[in-house]
Amino acid sequence: MPKLEQPYPIQTSDGFIALTPSFLTMSTNHVISWLIGHEPKPGTLFPLYKLFCEKDLIKVKSAISYAVKNKKTKAGLEIELLYKGTSEFLCSYSVHPVFDSKQDVTGVILCFEKAKKKRSVYNLPEHDNVLDELPEGLFTITTNWQISYFNKTAEKITGYKSKEVIGKYCWEIFKSDICKNLCPLRKSMNNSETYINQEIKIFNKDGTRQTIIANTSVLKNRLGEISGAIETFLPVQQKTYLADTVKYHHSFENIIGKSEKMQQLFAMLPDIAESDANILICGENGTGKDIVAKAIHTHSMRKKEPYIAVNCSAFAESLLESELFGHEKSAFTGADRLKIGRFELAGTGTLFLDEIGELKPELQVKLLRVLDQREFERVGGTQSIDMTARIISATNKNLTKAIADKSFREDFYYRLRTVSLTLPPLREKKEDIPLLVTHFIKLFNKKYKKEIRSVDTKVMRFFRQYNFPGNVRELKQIIEHAFVFTKGPVIFLSKLPDFKEFNTKEQQLTPQKTLFTVKKPGKKAILHALSLCDGKRQKAADLLSISRTSLWRLIKKLEIE
């Protein structure tokens, strides 16, 4: 949630941008689209250079870094905004961090308002508020406890429409048992402090009761006086693997993940894409090396140029040279016409060399020469052709070991890996499984024209234990197998494939005999889950597919130390 420590009134003339810490677009409003001339798509790099002149870019990035690092609002700033890359006008702006339910910063909101000290000839149009696009419910109240703003996510969670609640007292809508007494909003108003992860029971419009986790803070005017309060909230029972929960800050292009390793990757990819360096992507089979390569090309300066992929293990050694460099007519037996190679087809685009570790040393020498001299000749030809493509390569082999046993040239290795990326296997980022399951459910619903909404909790428990030797590709195949046989809205264990086909000798798990497949976990399961999660209750609760509150109650009931 935005921690509004500094005064910043929300007005209909303001411009908003929501960005990830690595400057990927989360959302923008009509003002920003009007200024830069187009609407950036979520998940793509926001073109900062179109909105800020070069001298101000460092200031803006510094303010964003401050908000992310310190988890605090940076306000009272001024900057010159560009109108369609040319005209400038003075604006005041602030940067507000956005938090998830665990109080990790997932992005920032940049808010702009025309400064009155310098008149602009441009009139900023009205817009839909970017806060409507936030993944958590958000509402604000006045000092009289009347609701002044209610975003679309809050509408979805509670069932109330904004027009039904604006102007009403917040306790009339939420009807919580702590309203007027222990309400965190009241605490914030009284103490001018922020309260996070407050568990509250509320009533929805249809009368059903649900538990939410809320974060509250005060709003102040430009004189520093409290003008109201703000609350963001998420329902406790919201499962990350239901079909509508994949959010843009958990992905980059078609790469999905919220784990620490994937967040580190997402932070690196924009800079890597903007550069023109050769990239070497390492990782086990099924980790998505080809998807990362395509994402880098899509976000690079070469995105409008060709993207050519070639699997170096798919061709016989005698044909691979011809595939890469092309050949002249009559260059060898069967060459009855001129053939354009992949290097030439790539032009000024990107050439992706998959399974580069399979190349024989003889061809490594030829490719090394091409990378050094930036030119090549077709097989059987004498004319030099400029090599202008960017090279991205990938391998599942340990190239350090291959260099040691002389099967891979060290000089060739260093030409390929100006920048090196290593993709983690799925067993090392199991917190990404719910998001991936959601992604594949959405994908196969479209492919098979079904309306499957989720997987059964027992399926998710099994996925959390299974080691996935085939990584993300294997998970995708498992979900597709289940889609073929599932008739209803939920995938059950019985619809999964026979895991004897998937398990390794070291891992003999079956869906029917896993420790966490019981509806109500016992003392043994809880102790084992806590052990696996280093005593962290939230992670243990996720592993057991129960809420943190339920886990706490079971620990107390079973007298677990």
pLDDT band at 239 (very low <50, low <70, confident <90, very high): very low
Q: Which pLDDT band, with edges at 50, 70 and 90, does 515 fall under?
A: very low
Assigned CATH class of 137-235: alpha beta
The span from the CA of 187 to the CA of 508, in Å, is 53
pLDDT-derived band at 283 (thresholds 50, 70, 90) equals: very high
Could you list the beta-strand ranges (E) of 147-208.
147-150, 195-203
411-448 in b/e burial notation, b at 16+ Cβ within 10 A? ebbebbbebebebbbbeebbbbbbbbbbbbbeebeeee
Whose tokens are 């619809």? That residue is 495
pLDDT level of residue 55 (50, 70, 90 thresholds): low
DSSP 27-56: EE-HHHHHHHSS-PPTTSBP-HHHHB-HHH
Average pLDDT value for residue range 68-73: 83
Q: Please tell me the predicted confidence (pLDDT) of residue 4.
A: 36
Mean pLDDT of 235-250: 43
pLDDT at 505: 36
In terms of Cα–Cα distance, which of 464, 462, 521, 516 is closest to 492? Answer: 462
Residue type, 253: E
Q: Quote the percentage of the chain above a pLDDT of 90.
A: 18
Rounded Cα distance between 36 and 108, Å, is 19
Instruction: List pLDDT tens digits, range 4-49.
Output: 333 333 333 467 788 888 788 888 877 787 777 778 887 788 888 7
Amino acid at 59: K
Distance CA 360, CA 379 (A): 17
Q: Taking the domain 15-133, which CATH number applies?
A: 3.30.450.20
Topology annotation, domain 427-505? Helicase, Ruva Protein; domain 3 (1.10.8)
Q: For the ranges 81-90, 104-113, 356-365, which has the lowest average pLDDT? A: 81-90
Amino acid making up residue 283: G
Q: How many CA atoms lie within 13 A of 267 on its CB side?
A: 12
Least confident of 239-253, 261-275, 294-308, 366-380: 239-253
Tell me the C-alpha distance between 545 and 557, whole Å.
18
Lowest mean pLDDT segment, chosen from 35-49, 106-120, 145-159, 399-413: 106-120
Chain mean pLDDT for the chain = 79
* 181 has pLDDT over 80: no
In angstroms, the Cα distances linking 475 to 468, 480, 499, 510, 539 are: 7, 9, 12, 15, 21
Using N-to-C axis directions, what is the helix angle for 548-557 and 537-544, rounded to 10°? 100
β-sheet bridge partners, residue 234: 213
pLDDT exceeds 50 at position 480: yes
Residue whose token pair is 């398990």: 503
Confidence of residue 111 (pLDDT cuts 50, 70, 90): confident
Interstrand relation of 490-491 and 390-395 (parallel, antiparallel or unpaired): unpaired
pLDDT classification of 124: cutoffs 50, 70, 90: very low
For the beta carbon of residue 338, count every other beta carbon within 10 angstroms: 14
**The token pair that represents 3 in the structure block:** 């921690």
Q: How many secondary structure helices (H) and strands (E) does the chain include?
A: 20, 23
Contact 235, 210 (CB under 8 A): yes
What span, in angstroms and rounded, lies between the C-alpha atoms of 9 and 227? Answer: 9
At residue 120, does pLDDT exceed 70?
A: no
Note the pLDDT of residue 476.
92
Beta bridge pairs of residue 210: 202
Q: What is the mean pLDDT of residues 387-415?
A: 91
The confidence score (pLDDT) of residue 493 equals: 85
> What token pair was written down for 479?
């979900």
- Residue type present at position 37: G
Report the run of H or E that residue 110 belongs to, with start and end. Answer: strand 105-114
Task: Identify the pLDDT of residue 471.
Answer: 92
- CATH architecture of residue range(s) 260-422: 3-Layer(aba) Sandwich (3.40)
pLDDT on residue 245 = 34
Q: Which pairing describes strands 390-395 and 74-83: parallel, antiparallel, or unpaired?
A: unpaired
Residue 243: predicted pLDDT: 33
Q: Any residues with CB less than 8 A from the CB of 168 and at least 6 apart, and which? A: 146, 147
Q: Per this entry, what is the length of the chain?
A: 561
Token pair in block for residue 367: 């490719």
